[in-house]
Amino acid sequence: MSIFRLAHLSDLHLPPPQGAFGWRDLLSKRLLSRIAWRRKRREHRPEVLAALVADLKAHAPDHIAITGDLTNYASPAEYEAARVWLEALGPAWNITVSPGNHDALVEAKGGQPFAAWTPWLGDDGAIAFPQVRMRDGVALFNLCSAAPTAPHLATGRLGKAQLDRLDALLGDPAYRDAFRVLLIHHPPVPGAVVKRKALEDQDALRALLVRHGADLILHGHAHEAMVATAPGPNGATIPVLGVPSASAMGKRGHPAARWHGVEIDRRADGGVEVKVVARGLDPESGEPSELGRYILTQAGRPAARRS
């Protein structure tokens, strides 16, 4: 069987365009984000992101997963700027976006904050989660943990409706033989981030995974390269991978910009081998290069499945 190459990047923090912040935002949480951006803009650089994306494109992945925080204030001008950026990245069929907390910083007027990103959310033209995108035997379950929160909080939440739908989708026989990848901004792992930044209903999500299983979970939010596991059925474990910010200079205590190439090699005997290639800015040259590679799932070992 062929190898499916999935590129993962996250936490882009695109520079806010002209008009992203207005006088009405002085009384909202956007004011705090604007103050924070004055500091963060020295760390999150568009030229760094451009170099990383050029390196990613040179490796021609089959699909690109972006796990959130394309924006900073979640303003209409930023949504539109991110849409233009996504169009330049490639066809929407080949790119999936899972929104982050910065993409839902405040309640959106009209209740459709991600309308501009609809083609990158799923295949059915809806602004709803989760959505499933089938690509060459790989099922991408796109979740949304982005939810408006009080000042100084960056927590995430899936909510009962999304969890109920995910329960049904993970149990759907249509995806039983697919390699199932969950995309989410907040890490579903206890202790991965501090409480004020954590996924509020991660216990409910993990309970679903124990029942139904999955093969891989990709997340962002922590701005760190993280390797963890979540419990699956019958004592199995599900790999959970986080990637640093794709625009980070690496000068403020966080790793420099990085993307992960995930190579999914499904074998005829039912086993699977998953390789991860980490690429990012070399600390000496500042140019993108390979930082390391490892085998995440050994060949011949079946992925986590429902009993």
- In the predicted model, what is the mean pLDDT of the chain? 89
Higher-confidence position of 25 and 39: 39
Q: How confident is the model over 92-113, as pLDDT tens digits?
A: 999 999 999 999 876 666 667 8
Sequence letter at residue 286: G
> Whole-model pTM?
0.92
pLDDT of residue 22: 57
With bands split at pLDDT 50, 70 and 90, how would you rate the model's confidence at 285?
confident
- Residues 161-208 have pLDDT tens digits of 999 999 999 999 999 999 999 999 999 999 999 999 999 999 999 999
Token pair 């990047």: residue:
9
Domain boundaries, the chain: 3-297
Q: Is the pLDDT of residue 273 over 60?
A: yes
Q: What is the pLDDT of residues 63-78, one digit of tens each?
A: 999 999 999 888 888 9
Residue 301's pLDDT is: 45
Residue 67 main-chain phi, psi, to 5 deg: -100, 55
In this predicted structure, the answer to whether residue 62 has a pLDDT above a threshold of 90 is yes
> Which pLDDT value is given to residue 269?
79
- Which pLDDT belongs to residue 212? 97
Asked whether the beta carbons of 241 and 277 are under 8 A apart, the reply is no
Residue 105: what pLDDT?
Answer: 77
Report pLDDT for 36: 66
Q: What tokens were used for 86? A: 């996504």
Contacts of 160 (CB under 8 A, 6+ apart): none
Sequence letter at residue 275: K
Q: Evaluate if residue 306 carries a pLDDT over 50.
A: no
Alpha-carbon span 50 to 48, nearest angstrom: 5
What does each C-alpha distance from 200 to 142, 146, 203, 204, 238 come to in angstroms? 18, 11, 8, 9, 20
Higher-confidence residue of 127 and 42: namely: 127
Question: In sequence order, what are the residues at sequence separation of 6 or more whose Cβ sits closer than 8 angstroms to the Cβ of residue 18?
Answer: 77
Domain 3-297 bears CATH identifier 3.20.20.140:
no
The pLDDT score that the predictor gives to residue 110 is: 63
Q: Which residues contact 5 (CB under 8 A, 6 or more apart)?
A: 59, 60, 61, 62, 63, 261, 262, 263, 264
